[in-house]
Amino acid sequence: MKILVVDDSKAMRMIVTRTLRQAGFGDHPVTEAADGKLGLEALQREAFDVVLSDWNMPEMTGIELIQAVRAAKIPVRFGFVTSEGTESMRKQAAEAGADFLIAKPFTVESFEMALRGILAA
**Binding footprint of other proteins on the chain (CB under 8 A):** 8-12, 14-15, 18, 56-58, 82-86, 88, 104-107
Is residue 39 within 8 A of residue 51, CB to CB? The reply is: yes
Min. distance of Cβ 11 from other proteins in angstroms?
Answer: 5
Min. distance of Cβ 69 from other proteins in angstroms?
Answer: 22
Is residue 93 within 8 A of residue 52, CB to CB? The reply is: no
Angle between helices 10-20 and 108-119 (to 10 degrees): 70
Smaller CB distance to other proteins: residue 75 or 87? 87
Smaller CB distance to other proteins: residue 9 or 44? 9
Smaller CB distance to other proteins: residue 10 or 116? 10
Min. distance of Cβ 57 from other proteins in angstroms?
Answer: 8
Candidates 88, 120, 121, 104; CA nearest to 52 is: 104
Other CB atoms within a 10 A radius of the CB of residue 41 amount to 13
